[in-house]
């Protein structure tokens, strides 16, 4: 099927989705790029949250990206564009460059695909152990595939106190990743990252996380000693297991899950849709000789930071001049804050 036919089919599907909804909706389109064995773009599923409909596409070339953005630019309200470039683009900022050329500035938002994946994986792992009324701490977790996302996952779960084992084809890279992660982990973290072949624990693996781009040639080195029906395997990379391997694992009652990043994307869109842009807000207001600043500002000593400079509801604190807040406030300072909040709300009709 040609890209034009695929787009036309999606437009028809989109129209049906909108007609079935009872509320006014904003259309949100995500476009990203990933390392994959796929040869051409594909659409992601429709998802729903609050008052918006989310859908999108994964592309592998600049021509695919431009054709898709041109097709949806007039009907989509908000675009989220992945700024990570992984494959198929001629320049380091290829996807971002095309989006800025095709889409109106006020419709554009940006995200990092691997960071969304990381948050989804972290949430999945935590929820899995929470349902078992267990902590992530001290669990044995194997990460297979030590690229960008695999390394980020290893670090995140190491920081949660898990015992991390890594496995990749490049021995020198494996050693380097272990060395770096063990050096930059928080000082209070006693767990470490090890290359899988040096793993001597008698315990089974609690979780295996697959992030590689091609199926493993064999599961024997993991299965015979370290996998049982209590082991969770999470496919992050898509296509990490062969058809035969999936059948074998299911037959042996191993729990298999495909990582779903949908909820993380929905949360990202919802948060960006509701959050204030600190660069678009008034920077400061002088009130009775005191400077009030919008949250996110770094103030001088005695400047006062509030939640919303235009319609304040509370103060975060009074600056100590060193990047923090004063530990104690005088009665006078407390009264000034109360008066400013009342003044601001009165001016805004509250």
What pLDDT is recorded for position 230?
83
pLDDT above 60 (res 350):
no
Per CATH, the number for 115-263 is 3.40.50.720
Task: Report the pLDDT averaged over residues 132-157.
Answer: 95
What pLDDT is recorded for position 186?
93
Q: Dihedral, CA atoms, 273, 112, 158, 124, nearest 10 degrees?
A: 60
What are the residue boundaries of the structural domains of the chain, listed by start?
A: 3-111, 115-263, 284-347
pLDDT above 50 (res 349):
no
pLDDT above 50 (res 241):
yes
Q: Show the 3-state SS of the chain.
A: CCHHHHHHHHHHHHHHHHHCCCCCCEEEEEEEECCCCCCCCEEEEEEEECCEEEEEEEECCHHHHHHHHHHHCCCCCEEEEECCCCCCCCCCCHHHHHHHHHCCHHHEEEECHHHHHHHHHHHHHHHHHHHCCCCCCCCEEEEECCCHHHHHHHHHHHHCCCEEEEECCCHHHHHHHHHHHHHHCCCCCCCCEEEHHHCCCCCCCCEEEECCCCCCCCCHHHHHHHCCCCCEEEECCCCCCCHHHHHHHHHCCCEEEECCCHHHHHHHHHHHHHCCCCCCCCCEEEECCEEEEECCCCCCCCCEEECCCCCCCCEEEEECCCCCECCCCCHHHHHHHHHHHHHHHHHCCC
Structure tokens, 309: 């400079």
Confidence grade of residue 237 (pLDDT, cut at 50, 70, 90): confident
In this structure, of 1-10, 224-233, 249-258, the range with the lowest mean pLDDT score is 224-233
Distance CA 350, CA 346 (A): 5
> Among residues 290, 280, 285, 272, which one has the least CA distance to residue 312?
285
pLDDT above 60 (res 281):
no
Percent pLDDT > 90 in the chain is 55
pLDDT tens-digit readout, 96-141:
989 999 999 999 999 998 999 999 999 999 999 999 999 999 999 9
In this structure, of 79-88, 124-133, 166-175, 274-283, the range with the lowest mean pLDDT score is 274-283
pLDDT above 80 (res 228):
no
pLDDT tens-digit readout, 64-95:
999 999 999 999 999 999 988 766 666 666 78
275 compared with 113, residue with greater pLDDT: 113
What pLDDT is recorded for position 158?
97
Distance CA 287, CA 304 (A): 10
Task: Report the pLDDT averaged over residues 317-337.
Answer: 95
How many beta carbons lie within 10 A of that of residue 298, not counting itself? 9
In this structure, of 30-34, 263-267, 279-283, the range with the lowest mean pLDDT score is 279-283
Structure tokens, 118: 């990381």
Distance CA 253, CA 265 (A): 31
Q: In angstroms, how far is the first alpha carbon of the chain from the final one?
A: 57
What pLDDT is recorded for position 20?
82
């Amino acid at each position: 099927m040609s890209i034009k036919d695929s787009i036309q089919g999606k437009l028809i599907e989109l129209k049906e989705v909108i007609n079935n909804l009872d509320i006014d909706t904003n259309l949100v389109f995500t476009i990203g790029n990933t390392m994959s064995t796929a040869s051409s773009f594909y659409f992601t599923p429709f998802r729903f949250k609050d008052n918006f409909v989310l859908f999108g596409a994964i592309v592998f070339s600049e021509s695919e990206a431009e054709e898709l953005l041109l097709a949806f630019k007039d009907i989509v309200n908000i675009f989220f564009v992945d700024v990570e470039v992984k494959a198929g683009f001629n320049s380091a900022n290829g996807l971002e460059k095309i989006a800025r050329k095709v889409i109106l500035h006020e419709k554009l938002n940006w995200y990092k695909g691997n960071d969304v994946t990381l948050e989804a994986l972290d949430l999945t792992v935590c929820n899995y152990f929470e349902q078992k009324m267990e902590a992530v701490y001290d669990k044995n977790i194997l990460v297979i595939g030590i690229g960008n996302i695999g390394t980020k996952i290893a670090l995140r779960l190491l920081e949660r106190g898990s015992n991390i084992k890594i496995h990749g084809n490049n021995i020198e890279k494996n050693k380097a990743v272990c060395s770096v992660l063990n050096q930059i982990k928080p000082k209070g973290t006693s767990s470490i990252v090890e290359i899988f072949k040096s793993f001597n624990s008698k315990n089974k693996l609690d979780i295996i996380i697959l992030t590689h781009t091609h199926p493993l040639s064999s599961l024997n080195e993991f299965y015979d000693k370290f996998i049982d029906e209590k082991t969770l395997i999470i496919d992050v990379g898509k296509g990490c297991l062969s058809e035969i391997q999936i059948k074998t694992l299911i037959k042996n009652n191993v729990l298999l899950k495909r990582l779903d990043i949908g909820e993380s994307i929905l949360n990202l869109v919802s948060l960006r849709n509701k959050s204030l842009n600190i660069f678009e807000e008034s920077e400061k207001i002088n009130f009775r000789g005191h400077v009030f600043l919008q949250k996110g500002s770094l103030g001088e000593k005695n400047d006062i930071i509030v939640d919303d400079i235009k319609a304040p509801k509370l103060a975060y604190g009074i600056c100590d001049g060193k990047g923090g807040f004063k530990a104690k406030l005088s009665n006078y300072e407390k009264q000034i804050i109360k008066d400013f909040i009342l003044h601001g709300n009165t001016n805004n009709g509250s």
